[in-house]
Amino acid sequence: MIAQDADPAITNLQPWMQQLGEGVDARPYGHPSEYEAHVVRRNVEWLTADPVSSVNFTPLHELDGIITPNGLCFERHHSGIAEVDPAEHRVMINGLVETPLVFTMADLMRFPRVNRVHFLECAANSGMEWAGAQLNGCQFTHGMIHNVQYTGVPLRLLLEEAGVRTDGKWLLAEGADAAAMTRSIPMEKALDDCLVAFKMNGEALRPEQGYPVRLVVPGWEGNMWVKWLRRLEVGDQPWEHREETSKYTDLLDNGKARKFTWEMDAKSVITNPSPQAPITHGKGPLVITGIAWSGRGTIPRVDVTTDGGMTWNAARMSGPSFNKSMHRFYYEMDWDGSPLLLQSRAMDSTGYVQPTKDMLRKVRGENSIYHNNGIQTWSVNENGEAENVEIS
Residues at the interface with ligand MTE (CB under 6 A): 73-78, 120, 122, 146, 175, 177, 179, 181, 208-209, 222-223, 225-228
76 binds Co ion (CB under 5 A): yes
Name which of 122 and 279 has its Cβ closer to ligand MTE.
122
What are φ and ψ of residue 176, in 5° steps? -95, 5
Q: Which residue is nearest to ligand MTE (CB)?
A: 175
Give the Cα separation of 387 and 135 in Å (integer). Answer: 9
Closest contact distance (angstroms) between CB of 169 and ligand MTE is: 22
Closest contact distance (angstroms) between CB of 209 and Co ion is: 13
Closest contact distance (angstroms) between CB of 282 and Co ion is: 40
Omega before 51 within 30 of 0, i.e. cis: no
Q: Which one-letter DSSP state was computed for residue 210? A: T
- Partner from ligand MTE, Co ion, none contacting 197, C-beta within 5 to 8 A by type: none
Please name the residue ranges forming H helices in the chain: 8-11, 105-108, 138-142, 155-162, 187-192, 357-364
- Partner from Co ion, ligand MTE, none contacting 364, C-beta within 5 to 8 A by type: none
Measure CA of the first residue to CA of the last residue in the chain; give whole Å. Answer: 38
Name which of 223 and 289 has its Cβ closer to Co ion.
223
Name which of 232 and 386 has its Cβ closer to ligand MTE.
232
Q: Which among 163, 191, 351, 385 has a CA at the least distance from the CA of 273? A: 385
The 10 Å CB-count burial string (b at 16+, else e) for 165-203 is eeebbbbbbbbbbebebbbbbebebbbebbbbbbbbbee
- DSSP states of 66-112 as a string? SPPPGGGS--EESS------GGG--EEEEESBSS-EEE-HHHHTTS-
Instruction: Give the rounded distance of the alpha carbon of 282 from its chain centre.
Output: 32
The amino acid at residue 272 is N
Closest contact distance (angstroms) between CB of 180 and Co ion is: 16
Name which of 72 and 342 has its Cβ closer to ligand MTE.
72
- Burial of 308 per CB tally in 10 Å (0-12, 13-18, 19+): middle
Name which of 53 and 350 has its Cβ closer to ligand MTE.
53
Closest contact distance (angstroms) between CB of 175 and ligand MTE is: 2
Of 209, 223, 276, 379, which lies in the binding site for Co ion, with binding defined by CB under 5 A?
223
Name which of 73 and 340 has its Cβ closer to ligand MTE.
73
Cα torsion 348, 353, 356, 359: sign:
negative
Count, in order, helices (H) and strands (E) of the chain.
6, 24
Name which of 53 and 383 has its Cβ closer to Co ion.
53
Q: Among the candidate windows 68-76, 102-110, 170-178, 226-234, which touches Co ion by CB under 5 A?
A: 68-76
Of 63, 73, 120, 122, which lies in the binding site for Co ion, with binding defined by CB under 5 A?
122
Binding mask 325-364 for Co ion (x = CB under 5 A): ----------------------------------------
Binding site for Co ion (CB under 5 A): 76, 122, 222-223
